[in-house]
Chains A and B, each alone.
Chain A
Amino acid sequence: MSLALGVLPWLVSAWLFAVGLYGIVRSRHYVHLIACLAVCQSATYVLLLSIGFRWHAGPPIFYDHPPGSAAVDPVMQALVLTDIVVGAAVSALLLAIALQVHKRRGSVDPQSLRPLRPNR
């Protein structure tokens, strides 16, 4: 159990990234694709927070328990906070672009949209 648990978060993270990639490659709708991108990104949240985690330690907030008691790594949590903002920012931008694409092309299928059609 504990041996399996020792590698579980890393595998979950890799799995989420792979699954998200699969979704991006197979997607037929840009909004769906943007959600798959969010799944890919959640892999980084899981990875970073698991790296900072420590068994039998509290949160890095010394309000209820005194300073000096065991706490998990606050640096990784700060990085994930930034990462979440990145995710929200990129999603918003992508959704805005997808909306405008639909207005102009009438389609949001990633497998039919391409900038600059070849001349034949």
Chain B
Amino acid sequence: MSPGLRSLLLLLALALLAPFAWHVAKALPQFGSPTAAYGATVNALGPPLRHVSNMVAAVNFDFRALDTLGEESMLFCAVTGAVVLLRGTRGEGTNRRAGLIPGRAVLARSDAQVLLCRIACTLTMLFGLYMVLHGTVTPGGGFQGGVIIASAVLLLYLAEGYGPWRRLIRSPLLDVLESLGVLLFVGAGAAPLLSGHAAMSNLMPLGHFRDLFSGGVMLVTNFAVGLAVAAGFVMLLLEFLEETRALQSDSLPDEAQR
């Protein structure tokens, strides 16, 4: 199909769909006046039944915990897939050394920059942890906190340079951490089966409303998600960054063997 014909067909399809979209938009409830009973019930029952104040966390980690397990597996799957695809040609072996691209200037890092990045890294890491831990109380949670922790690890790269960073962050370790996160979630979901309860049941003490340790098993699954997400995103960033460093092994000297 020529590009012109393709665009024409696309416009035709959109033109066919447009009046219907308008029709649906008019038939939908007015924006800002929802009628869903599900959400209202969660808002009404979440605090008394689960002692947590963040209803989104209550939905994610208790009422619909299975969705979140699927979501974590999806991330796990995508990270594994991306790692396979990126490593394909260079293999895992290049993991422990930094490549150097010919013609790229090696910028010296000033002491101020190193110090600043180290401080920022610590602060970001703490903030990420704070966010993971307060997932059931305030906005945020395992996913957001996990991504923030991953970006803190990236700041470490800015502070230490690629080589030392690479020696510090080992991919087998990340694999283990990520797997532990998923396993923890699976375990928390399967454990109630042993006592004859339904999977994903929240059998732990629920704590007090608005307290940091409220929500029972939600704390465990929230932490599991944080762990898996942090390790998964670090792994992803690591492999993508390696891609900008990967040498053509046959044509360039191996820096690690100097």
Contacts and interface: CB of A to CB of B under 8 A. Distances in A.
A and B touch in the complex (CB under 8 A): yes
Contacts of B60: 78, 81
B159 interface: no
Contact of B39 (A26, A76, A81): A76
Interface stretch (B102-110, B135-143, B167-175, B196-204): B135-143
Nearest to A67: B47
Nearest to B244: A99
A100 to B, nearest CB: 6
A53 B34 contact: yes
Interface stretch (B82-90, B91-99, B113-121): B82-90
A102 to B, nearest CB: 11
Nearest to A80: B56
A36 B139 CA distance: 29
A75 B78 contact: no
Q: Give the one of A52, A77, A86, A89 with max B CB within 10 A.
A: A89
Contacts of B53: 61-63, 67
B34 A22 contact: no
B139 A96 contact: no
Nearest to B24: A10
B3 A26 contact: yes
Given A6-B30, A7-B25, A7-B26, A63 B47 contact: no
Given A7-B25, A62-B47, A88-B75, A81 B143 contact: yes
Interface in A1-39: 5-11, 14, 18, 21-22, 25-26
Nearest to A91: B78
Interface stretch (B64-72, B181-189, B216-224): B64-72
Contact of B138 (A61, A78, A100): A61
Contacts of B194: none
B67 to A, nearest CB: 6
Interface of A is mostly: helix
A89 B10 CA distance: 27
Contacts of B26: 7
Nearest to A24: B10
Interface in A59-86: 59-63, 67-68, 71-79, 81-82, 85-86
A89 B56 contact: no
B100 interface: no
A74 B32 contact: no
A54 B43 contact: no
12 contacts: A10-B24, A11-B22, A51-B28, A53-B31, A53-B32, A62-B47, A73-B36, A77-B56, A79-B67, A89-B79, A96-B240, A103-B89
**A-B residue pairs, 3 tightest by C-beta:** A73-B39, A89-B78, A74-B55
Given A6-B32, A22-B10, A93-B81, 19 more contacts: A7-B30, A10-B28, A18-B14, A54-B34, A60-B39, A62-B55, A63-B137, A63-B138, A71-B55, A72-B39, A73-B34, A73-B40, A75-B64, A81-B60, A92-B79, A92-B236, A93-B78, A96-B81, A99-B243
Interface of B: 3, 6-7, 10, 14, 21-22, 24-26, 28, 30-34, 36, 38-40, 42-44, 46-48, 53-56, 58-60, 64, 67-68, 70-71, 74-75, 77-79, 81-82, 85-86, 88-89, 137-139, 143, 209-210, 236, 239-240, 243
Interface of A: 5-11, 14, 18, 21-22, 25-26, 50-55, 59-63, 67-68, 71-79, 81-82, 85-86, 88-90, 92-93, 95-97, 99-100, 103, 111
